[in-house]
Amino acid sequence: MSEHTITVAGVAVDTRHWIGGERVASAQTFPDVSPIDGSTIGEISRGTGMEAAAAVAAAKAAFPAWAATSRAERARILHAIADGVEKRIEELSIVETTDNGALLRSHRRGVMPRVAHNFRFFADGLLKLEHEDFETRGHTNHVSWDPAGPSVLITPWNAPLMLATWKVAPALAAGNTVILKPAEWTPLTASLLADIAAEAGLPAGVLNVVQGYGSEIGDALTSHPDVRRISFTGSVPTAKRIAESAAANLTPLSLELGGKSPLLVFADADLDLAVDLAVEQYDNAGQVCLAATRFLVEESVAEEFTRRFVEKAGQLTQGDPRGEATDIGPNIHPLQLEKIDGFVQRAVAAGARAVIGGHGKDGQYYAPTLLTAVAQDSEIVQEEVFGPVLTLQTFATEDEAVRLANDTRFGLAATLATGDPERAERVTAQLVAGTVWTNCFFVRDLQAPFGGSRHSGVGREGGTWSFDFYCDLKNTVTSPNGWNNHG
């Protein structure tokens, strides 16, 4: 076993970068720490501008051949990668749980199968990607999707491999080469993906994985003149820095950012269903960008809703995410836990009341929290916490509910609980959000567009929207005249 290989729950993981089909070590490393118990999993190669330049050069060199590869062959390789993921679901699950603290049972049953599905969906979508030719004054218009070039993909820590492959799969399917930069807090499954892709026959340089801090390697990637696409999922401040870096080269951007989504509960809703939806917002220890963290409940049912919510939330089990009975695991990092608690303590100091929670627990575990008596213009209502912290406000009218729901700088998602289909139609039409769920939550299909409005992002991912982003769309207009007669 190489000195650069660590063993995570019996799974060997290479801690070096993957550049041009080879493992590359850096002179410096950074520690990867498990949120489960605070232990150091291993030392990871810490990339700088040198590794960024090498990865972009490898992607640039590999691009012409990959772009010229037939759609059928690209799709075949993506399906082979999906096969490799499915063979290693158990290994990927335990490594990811160790690295980011999300529930092991969720990784096994939902997240890692979704990783494989990401590759299969875009492989199949590539083969169906077409636009009907159309006529203009007797001339034929033909629309095509041309590969754009090397693409930098910067991914978050809350669902590392699933969100990475959500970008990697369409970028590769489109014929682009990729430089993947995973979050420094969760680098391990990206390294395993490099192994799986190589075993599936993906040519060297088509997928490159580089690790490190955003300020040291991320900036070098996003400002590189040979990069033709940048896709980022993460925070608004980081997105602004990336946009500034990309501006010099006019590099197209796709940004999926934060949220402060509402859950609107009307008096005519099925309250048991509404409470189930509300408690579901503690999923992944509240580290979900789509989470409906602001409960807006009609005054006449607010007391009963709160009572049922407290009872239901009290049945959740918080602890080691590897346990089958665990519902809520740890938060990702001590810095994140400090941030979460800071939000809560400032809110309480300003007059908020913690109905449940309001404090940390042992290690990196924060108690599921619900705050009431919060003002609409307060920090806790306006800013993304990204932890198991929810707020509850009341409204008297439908118009007030819509006004409160839309009154933040975000617009990623919204959830609505009502028994009146006409009200649902009225309200959803007025909500500023990229995704709206009515009487459900987190029902997702890759055919649908995904992204946010306002400060929640730029662009959409999923379906043909991903291909539109990762490609240069071309329209070829052909005259019926001028052909030489070779008959």
Active site residues: 256, 289
Q: Distance from CA of residue 197 to its chain's centroid?
A: 20
Q: Which residue has the tokens 């590769």?
A: 172
Cβ proximity of 209 and 188 under 8 Å: no
The C-alpha atoms of residue 210 and residue 272 are separated, in whole angstroms, by 46
**Closest C-alpha to 151, from 132, 170, 134:** 170
DSSP type of residue 288:
-
Strand-pair category, 5-8 with 11-14: antiparallel
Residues whose CB falls within 8 Å of the CB of residue 85, separated by 6 or more in sequence, listed in order: 92, 112, 115, 116, 119, 193, 196
Name the 3-class secondary structure at 378.
coil
H or E stretch at 466:
helix 463-470
What distance in Å separates the CA atoms of residue 269 and residue 284, rounded to the nearest whole number? Answer: 26
**Rounded distance between C-alpha atoms, residue 138 and residue 274, angstroms:** 57
Structure tokens at 159: 């669902």
Residue of 205, 168, 207, 160 whose CA lies nearest to 187: 160
Q: Which amino acid is at 35?
A: P
* Structure tokens that stand for 220 in this block: 């070098």
